[in-house]
Structure 1
């Protein structure tokens, strides 16, 4: 029995004192069909098309100076979208709905961008704190605002992904808990509503993965 609404998202549950929930992070590898590795196959061609499209999008954001950097962001998108979709399946722990996972992805990336920028492009990073055309009296305030907005970037990335994933799952859980107290007609409507909401959650899983990867790409392009 759930002690509160968020018990279904509890990452501490274990079997014989061994936490098993976080193993779902790499569970996506087990769902890759065998024909995927046979070239060419429908699944491999479909994923190659998606990866090449993302490569073109991220290459446009990064510019021509770092064409190989898109591999990192395409891999980041793939990792997040696999975990998001796995979380939509019953009895599978959604690791991307927890700050421990999302902040572990966002913070090292942001830290690497900041260290690279301040060590190798110090003047560019200092100039970025004051937007062009800023009046002289507003310069100290703009430096403070830009510094704060820069510092909170990993937090906003992590919170955006975790909040969007946990919100849909929580709504599905709340709707499912009302099922035993409804009549047959209401249960049919409830099932139809949950199916539609599940389709929406599948779209959110893809969109949030793309947003996370695209914003990380934008933060990297600002350093360059």
Structure 2
């Protein structure tokens, strides 16, 4: 029998420990971290990257009417960069090295640009087929060349990304498979080479995601 009714509110009543004070902090878990956590260095770095990309894509689009249109290209950059980085870890499937993913990203994006451009700005799209100052005799050839270059754009976007992801990973795999038959000195050189290749692949992962997003932005700016 309790000596005092108010002893139930004593924090040391249960288990002789002051764990009851933990209930004060449980509510913080429910609140989104942005409202009670100081932004980490990673958050500050990522926000800086996003704002830099937003300013650059806004200049490339050069259309003040389409507010927030850079969001899709920043999201595209983030998705490709995340998948490229994941592929650098051992035993993780590099999804961006397959045309199934890269063509799935490039083809609907290019198709939506083409549909929007030809439906809303048909004369503007026709003007793009013949560069300014082209002689009259060369105009049919220029229309043919520009049409072909426009049609193969999603293929070049997809192949560029997947080929760059395959090349570096394939070279690292081929070099790594020869390690069992090398001497100790050569293995040390191989480890240094693999580290340098890993740094190069990290840079390629960033560059290729940036190139994909920038080219998509440029393609969208041509239809406005």
Q: TM-score, normalised by structure 2?
A: 0.83
CA distance in 2, matches of 1:80, 1:44: 19
- TM-aligned CA deviation for residue 139 of structure 1: 0.7
Whether the aligned pair in 2 keeps the contact of 1:179 and 1:187 (CA below 8 Å) is yes
Whether the aligned pair in 2 keeps the contact of 1:36 and 1:44 (CA below 8 Å) is no
The structure 1 segments of at least 4 consecutive aligned residues displaced by more than 3 Å after TM superposition are 34-39
- TM-aligned CA deviation for residue 39 of structure 1: 4.6
- TM-aligned CA deviation for residue 66 of structure 1: 2.1
CA distance in 2, matches of 1:211, 1:45: 23
Q: Find out whether 1:102 has 2:89 as its counterpart.
A: no
The number of residue pairs the alignment matches comes to 191
CA distance in 2, matches of 1:107, 1:36: 36
CA distance in 1, matches of 2:89, 2:67: 36
CA distance in 2, matches of 1:197, 1:139: 47
Unaligned runs of 5+ in 1: 1-33
Please, which moves more after superposition, 58-67 or 128-137?
A: 58-67
Whether the aligned pair in 2 keeps the contact of 1:59 and 1:67 (CA below 8 Å) is no
- TM-aligned CA deviation for residue 88 of structure 1: 0.3
Q: Which residue of 1 aligns with 2:56?
A: 57
Unaligned runs of 5+ in 2: 1-31
CA distance in 2, matches of 1:167, 1:66: 37
- TM-aligned CA deviation for residue 40 of structure 1: 1.7
Report matched runs for 1:144-163 at 5 Å: 144-163=144-163
Q: TM-score, normalised by structure 1?
A: 0.83
Query: What RMSD over aligned residues (CA atoms) do the two structures have, in Å?
Result: 1.5
Whether the aligned pair in 2 keeps the contact of 1:165 and 1:205 (CA below 8 Å) is yes
- TM-aligned CA deviation for residue 36 of structure 1: 8.4
CA distance in 2, matches of 1:221, 1:153: 14
CA distance in 2, matches of 1:35, 1:177: 45
Q: Find out whether 1:189 has 2:181 as its counterpart.
A: no
Q: Which residue of 2 aligns with 1:48?
A: 47
Q: Which residue of 2 aligns with 1:86?
A: 86
Q: Which residue of 1 aligns with 2:201?
A: 201
